A = this chain, B = another copy of it.
Amino acid sequence: MSQKTYVHGYSVRESERLSDQAQTLTGLLHDDTRYPAGSRVLEAGCGIGAQTVILAKNSPGSLITSVDISQESIRVAGERVRAEGITNVTFQTGDILNLMFEPESFDHIFVCFVLEHLAKPQRALEQLRPLLKKGGTITVIEGDHGSAFFHPGSADAQKAISCLVKLQQEMGGNALIGRQLFPLLTAAGFSDVHVSPRMVYVDASRPALVEGFTKLTFTAMVEGVGDAALRQGLISKEAWDQGIRDLYRTAEPDGVFCYTFFKATGYRDERMTGQKE
C-alpha cells in the first residue's frame, strides 16, 4: 500500500492506525491518566503493584501513596516498584473502608480493579470521598465479564464465563461491576461523573492482543476457576471443556473477541466542601 494511495483514500485509516499504536491494554486503560507534578495521589487497593508501576511512570512528578490491606501484597509491590527504579511511591497497609488519612489529604484518588472484589463498593467510595481536596478527582477502572462476546459464538463458552461471575459473587464480589460505575460514583456523592467504556477488540490483525488478551488474560482467567466450578456443580465437565475450547477457538485467524473495561472519573462535590470543618 503506497503512502500516496493511503493519503488519497481515506482519513479514517490514519486515525485508526494511530489509535492502534496505543491499543495495548495499558495504553487503552491508562494513557489518559496523567497527574501534575507535585499533586498528591492515593492509589486505593494497589495489590502487588501491577497498576502502581504504570501510574507512577505516567505521572513521574506526582507523589503517590499506594495502600493495600495485605501486608504481603505491599511487600511484593514495593519490590516491583524498586526494581523499576521508581521513587515517587510510598506504601502503607490499610483497609480501604477505614483509611487513617486526614480529610482532604489528596488531590486525586485512583482505584483500579478493586471495587469488583468488594461487597460494599458504594460504601468504599463514600469513605474515599472526604480524603479528596476540594475539586479533587477520583478515577475508577473496572472490567465487566458480561461484556464479553465473540465469534464464533458459543453457549458453552458463555456458561463457562457465567461460572466465573457466580464464583466471584459467592466471594462477595461483582464481576459485572464495570457497567455500574456511573450509578455507583453518583450515589457515593461524586459530582460530574463521566464514564468512558474501553473496548478491547481483538481480531487476527492484532496478534499481540490475540495472544496477550484473548488467550493469556481472559481465557486463562476463566480457565483458572475450572476446578471450583466443577466442584460446586455449576457446570458439567463436557460443557466446561467445550466452553474453554470455544474461547480458544475465538483466537483463530477468523475469530473475534470483544471485552469492555469502564473508566470513570468524578469530582468531590464542591457544594458539600463549603460546609466542612
Contacts and interface: CB of A to CB of B under 8 A. Distances in A.
Nearest to A2: B135
Interface stretch (A84-92, A198-206, A219-227, A239-247): A198-206
Interface in A113-154: 135-137, 139, 144, 146-147, 149-151, 153
By secondary structure, the A interface counts as: mixed
Nearest to A158: B146
Interface stretch (A48-56, A68-76, A230-238, A253-261): A253-261
Contact of A151 (B139, B180, B256): B180
B13 A34 contact: no
A140 to B, nearest CB: 12
A32 interface: yes
Given A32-B15, A197-B199, A254-B187, A204 B192 contact: no
Interface in A137-192: 137, 139, 144, 146-147, 149-151, 153, 176, 179-180, 182-183, 186-187, 192
A137 to B, nearest CB: 5
A34 B17 CA distance: 17
Contacts of A10: 108, 137, 265
Contacts of A12: 32-33, 139, 263, 265
Contacts of A146: 149, 153
A105 interface: no
Contacts of A11: 32, 34
B1 A192 contact: yes
A16 B194 contact: yes
A111 interface: no
Nearest to A256: B179
A16 B137 CA distance: 15
A150 to B, nearest CB: 7
A13 B264 CA distance: 10
Contacts of A254: 183, 186-187
A274 interface: no
Contacts of A270: 1
26 contacts: A1-B135, A1-B192, A1-B267, A9-B108, A9-B267, A10-B108, A11-B32, A12-B33, A12-B139, A16-B194, A16-B196, A16-B265, A19-B196, A144-B149, A146-B153, A147-B149, A150-B179, A180-B256, A182-B203, A182-B256, A183-B254, A186-B204, A194-B205, A195-B201, A195-B256, A196-B201
Closest 6 CB pairs of A and B: A183-B254, A182-B203, A12-B32, A5-B135, A197-B201, A151-B179
